[in-house]
Amino acid sequence: DLRATPDMKIDKQQIASTSLISSSSILPATTATTNSSTLTKTECLGSRMAPSGAVVPEETNPNGLVSNDDIENRTKMMMRFMDDLTNIYFSTRNSLRLTVENDGSCNGDSGLGAFRDNLAAVTKYSRCKPISTVNFVGENFAQASIVSSIEFDRDYEHFAVAGVSKKIKLYEYQSILDNVVDLHYPTKEVLCTAKLSCISWNPYLRNYLASSDYDGFVSIWDMATAQKVRTFQEHEKRSWSVDFCSSDPKLLASCSDDCRVKIWSMHNDYSVTTIDAKSNVCCVKFKPDSQYNIVFGTADHNLYYFDLRNTREPCHLLKGHKKAVSYARFLSNNEIVSASTDSQLRLWRVTEGQCLRTYRGHVNEKNFVGLAVSNGYIVCGSETNTVHLYQREISRPLLSYKFDDVNNGTVKTTTVNTDRVKKEETGNEFVSAMCWSNRENILLAANSQGVVKVLELA
């Protein structure tokens, strides 16, 4: 980031007032003639420029105006992250200047437009509040209750919850929203033979759900009938992750403590591809728009990006984490967010093998705490029983939500450390899984006590 040099005199209040205008209606730098003194705060925050130049209204009150509370909350968020926004601004302007110097081209809105969008994203939400609760283990809090995975189905009508209780439970999403009580009954329940580590919905066959478990099995379930369709049994140790391919829904990937990543076809009894990673593999993910590319994270602190048409060596090796990599998610086609037990998230540009940003503020030293991304927002858990929300351009959390402590004692936790994946340890309550809904401001988060929260960003 390009920081202000000592001879640059920066008035934060002046930047704040200027940014209110910038976030809503920036003209190209070479033609900007807007007189900020003629615009009220409501006018500045009440609209944003669409790519075509048309004004698109932001969220307004019934009178068609942005509320005073919204203006106040946005201003507070802006002042709180003023240093970060200042760095983004100067970095954006510097990039635009270099573009002009290198090729002589100047798309006036390309630089400030990006800053406007980032400013709007950073100030859009000022709190995270629960709107509904599900107790995955019912009223029996003495039961093993860590939620290891939570995922919406293809149409976002149901979500499945799985964990160390050896159960997969299916809930109707709208019913959870309509009935604000703690005790909800699942529409379907599947009893498995081993503790579950991960689940993944098929993007085409809406009732099909894949699971991975501690016995190394990868299973496919028809959740409409709660029956098992197929089981793959090649992994020799615990399987940590499973993922259906979005662009070819008959394919799925899994990884394991046996140091192997396997690609399966729903039409074959045996794996179609195996990659030897030489280290415990903790997570695997298909690239959203490709059946040929995957990324996986390992206990040797690295991420590996492979083309499945040539598995002799990775296309890209992403190095920088100091401990095991527990999650990897695609933020865009060329950007990956990874989580590690070094208490850091990292944003990578795949084609360059470059770490663009490191996110710090959560605590993650041994557990799988969850990771989910959507529209430039990144959400992860913490071993303080807290959910943290990051925005792509800001290296510290925008917002946080802390679960209530059900017990003051300890719970059994599934852990990861630098050298290998441990079986079980005793630790405090922690957030363990999360996913986004089809609305940008709604997400599900679960913790080690089996409590699932529907959280709303406002």
pTM of the model: 0.82
Q: Is 376 left (phi over 0), alpha (psi -120 to 50) or beta?
A: left
From the centroid of its chain, how far is CA 413?
Answer: 21
Pairing verdict, β 303-307 and 293-298: antiparallel
Q: How confident is the model at residue 9 (pLDDT cuts 50, 70, 90)?
A: very low
pLDDT in tens, 285-311: 999 999 999 999 999 999 999 999 999
pLDDT in tens, 368-379: 999 999 999 999
pLDDT value of position 161: 98
pLDDT in tens, 165-222: 999 999 999 999 998 776 789 999 999 999 999 999 999 999 999 999 999 999 999 9
pLDDT value of position 64: 53
Q: What angle do the packed helices 12-22 and 68-80 form, to 10 degrees?
A: 130
Percent above pLDDT 70 for the chain: 76
Residues 298, 276: Cα–Cα separation, whole Å:
11
Looking at per-residue confidence, does 178 or 421 come out higher? 178
Return the bridge partners of 332, or none: 335
From the centroid of its chain, how far is CA 334?
Answer: 15
Q: Where does residue 352 rank: exposed (0-12), middle (13-18), buried (19+ CB within 10 A)?
A: exposed
Would you say residue 449 has pLDDT above 80? yes
Superfamily of domain 128-457: YVTN repeat-like/Quinoprotein amine dehydrogenase (2.130.10.10)
Q: What are the residue ranges spanned by the domains of the chain?
A: 12-123, 128-457
Determine which of 46-60, 144-158, 174-188, 298-312 has the lowest per-residue pLDDT on average. Answer: 46-60
pLDDT value of position 184: 86
Q: Which residues have a Cβ under 8 Å from the Cβ of 224 and sit 6 or more positions away?
A: 188, 207
Closest CA to 243 of 289, 284, 293: 284
Structure tokens belonging to residue 254 = 């899994």
Looking at per-residue confidence, does 113 or 280 come out higher? 280
| 389-417: average pLDDT | 74
Residues 38, 441: Cα–Cα separation, whole Å:
33
> Within a 10 A sphere around the Cβ of 304, how many other Cβ atoms?
25
- For residues 107 and 113, the answer to whether their CB atoms sit within 8 Å is no
pLDDT value of position 98: 61
User: What's the DSSP call for residue 323?
Assistant: S
| 380-393: average pLDDT | 98
| 125-148: average pLDDT | 83
pLDDT in tens, 322-352: 999 999 999 999 999 999 999 999 999 999 9
Pairing verdict, β 431-436 and 281-286: unpaired
- For residues 341 and 366, the answer to whether their CB atoms sit within 8 Å is yes
